[in-house]
Structure 1
Amino acid sequence: MSTTTLYDITVAYDDAGGTGGADGEGDGGEVLVLVHGHPFDRSMWRPQIETFAGPERRVIAADLRGYGGSTVIPGKTTLTTFAWDIAALLDRLGVDRVVLGGLSMGGQIVLEFYRLFPERVRALVLADTFAAAETGAGRAARNAMADRLLREGMGPYADEVLTKMVTPHNAEVLPAVAGHVRDMMRGAPPEGAAAALRGRAERPDYVGMLGRVAVPALVVVGSEDTYTPVADARVMSEGIPDATLAVIEGAGHLPNLERRAEFDAALGAFLDSLPPITSRVIDRSGSFENHRGGQVASPRRNP
């Protein structure tokens, strides 16, 4: 694990493989950035770091603010704030363009990052997530859940949703996976998880943006996911030009853990299909000055 300070927060992250280089892509290697979901941490991507990090591919996975080893900021954390945090981390690490993947809330952060910084994205991986705006009922439910987490802590919630995050069958036959998922949820700071829920309650619509996505995209979903079912994945795969859809049989909301081999096979095939990297140099000096205290202060569009 490494840590770095970005404006008002400390971020914990893993950075494995690759050969480095001023443009973040070394001497021809790929950079894969993986964004965790709620209420997890970067350890949910440990299997994929083991699979994909190597001399020709660098893999980065960070704890989002409010989770894992990163700073907890109470209140409300929007998808925009998370996206700017990722951009700032990439600047600090000297990385320009990346293959950017995320699961669940992480997938929505990926969509927001693409909205803000399309020039920094080489390809998208959208796992067990959806692109529609939050509904009125959804806003009320997320804010109510935020209140509950602050009141009760993470334990009761973690026990309640474990067999929704992983299927009941997988929770039984894959006890190590179920234990890992339970531990991540129980270990999440309630203030950070609540802040993210309040931010997601304001989630904008990304469906209208899908047709303008101009990079390769892989959409992955567990066949038994009840949070973000296959129908939601099809909206994205059919909306993004030439996107690839991979349905992972027998998996719930966390196919990268429940069906690691199948998930890794789909991701590996997608990465292998990407066109060769073309080097470029972009001056990003002063990027940190565009973001203060979680508030975007730039001419970019607001969500």
Structure 2
Amino acid sequence: MRATINGVQIGYDDYGQGPTVLFIHDCPLNRRMWQPQVEPLVNAGYRVVLVDLRGFGESELESEEVAIHTYSADIVGLLNYLGIGRAVVCGLALGGTVLFDLMENYPKRIAGACLATSRPVSDDIQETAKRTELISALQSGKEDQVKEEMFCMLIAGQEKSLPATIKDEVRGWIKGLKGKTLDVALKAIGQRKDYTPLLKGVKIPTLLVGADQDPITHHNHTDLMAEQLPNCYKAVKLSGGHFVNMERAAEFNALFLEFLENLSPKRKMLVDVDEEEEIDFCAVM
């Protein structure tokens, strides 16, 4: 499905009924990376919304320049379009950065947050240099080379252990991405702020999921965020790599559903009263 949000066609999926859970994908992927979460959550009585950020998947880019806040404003616009007041939001890596912006600027719209293989800090010197190198290569017409390099970076250390089905899916998504989208997204990521000072003031219930073999986001960020977030429900490091929701889907889903049930202990009783009514999460603060 697609909807015009903030003047741009945004691709999304909307499954099930009940309290809403919205997922935000990583760069350079798209909303399909969250398919392993759809059926278990819908079967458990949740409404699941998947969204493509601008330029990714089925979403248009339009602009030559995008900021992290642009992505988060599109998320809020989609919630408004779908008539959703509040949602639990889960983001992975870039999706986590967008979620940080949502928590800072739209906290009343976020009933709970799940940060998967995400970190609050901005780029260090080495990361800035590498990102600049990738952007320069894109602008020099080396799009295929950049895509392959990004794929290799994402699966580094797991070339043999990562299931072939996941590797093939990820490589296909990256190959299908427009070079302009990569250029714009890499610049947006490079300009992200350091959200560390925000953490101590975040009252939103939060679940942290790291991965001990993640080559992109070091798993120690999970512990560091847990120490700062005053309402951290749980911080877990699963055995796996960057795509922890795909690689360790069963464990991830069980953990996430536990978090959701903790957020909405009265959900089933509310559904019995009026199944057609849009239900808000009853967050445990």
TM-score band w.r.t. shorter chain: 0.7 to 0.9
Provide the C-alpha distance between the structure 2 equivalents of 1:106 and 1:87, rounded to a whole number of angstroms.
Answer: 14
- Correspondent of 2:20 among 23, 31, 37: 31
Moved more, 107-116 or 256-265: 256-265
Give the equivalent residue in structure 1 for 2:3.
Answer: 4
Partner of 1:246: 236
Structure 1 residue 188 and structure 2 residue 187: aligned? no
1:179 CA displacement: 0.4
Specify the alignment match of 2:14 in structure 1.
Answer: 15
Q: Secondary structure at the match of 1:211?
A: helix
The whole-number CA distance in structure 2 between the counterparts of 1:132 and 1:149 is 25
1:152 deviates by 3.9
Distance 1:163 1:215, change over 3 A: same
Using the size of structure 1 for normalisation, the TM-score is 0.82
Unaligned runs of 5+ in 1: 19-28, 283-303
Give the structure 2 partner of residue 93 of structure 1: 82
Post-superposition offset of 1:167: 5.5
Residue 144 of structure 1: SS of its match in structure 2?
A: helix
Mean alpha-carbon deviation: is it higher for 47-56 or for 264-273? Answer: 47-56
**Paired residue secondary structure (1:124):** strand
1:43-82 counterparts in 2 under 5 A? 43-54=32-43, 56-82=45-71
Q: 1:153 to 1:55 in 2, by over 3 A?
A: farther
The structure-2 alpha-carbon separation of the partners of 1:151 and 1:50, relative to structure 1 and needing over 3 Å to count, comes to farther
CA-CA distance at 1:165 after TM superposition: 2.1
Measured at CA, do residues 273 and 154 of structure 1 come closer, stay the same or move farther in structure 2, by a change above 3 Å? farther
Give runs of aligned pairs for residues 107-118 of structure 1, distance below 5 A: 107-118=96-107
Question: Letter of the aligned partner of 2:14 in structure 1?
Answer: D
2:201 equivalent to 1:209: no
Structure 1 CA distance for aligned equivalents of residues 127 and 257 of structure 2: 34
**Mapped contact 2:157–2:215 kept (Cα < 8 A):** no
> How far has the Cα of 1:75 moved from its partner?
2.7
- 2:119/2:222 contact within 8 Å kept: yes
Aligned residue for 1:101, secondary structure, equals: strand
CA distance, structure 2, for counterparts of residue 224 and residue 102 of structure 1: 18
Distance in 2 (CA, whole Å) between partners of 1:260 and 1:148 is: 34
Distance 2:32 2:139 in 1: 23
Deviation by residue 1:180-232 (Cα, 9 ceiling, x = unmatched): 11111111111112101111211111101111111210111111012111111
Contact 2:134 2:146 in 1 (8 A): no
Query: Does the CA-based 8 Å contact 2:200-2:228 persist in structure 1?
Result: yes
User: May I ask how many residue pairs the two structures share in their alignment?
Assistant: 270
Matched, 1:237 2:226: yes
Identical columns (%): 27
RMSD: 2.3
* Pairwise CA distance, 1:71: 0.4
Match of 1:285 in 2: none
On the 8 A contact 1:30/1:57 being kept in 2, the answer is yes
Residue ranges of structure 2 left out of the alignment (5+ in a row): 271-276, 281-285
Matched residue, 1:42: 31
Moved more, 159-168 or 112-121: 159-168
Partner of 2:273: none
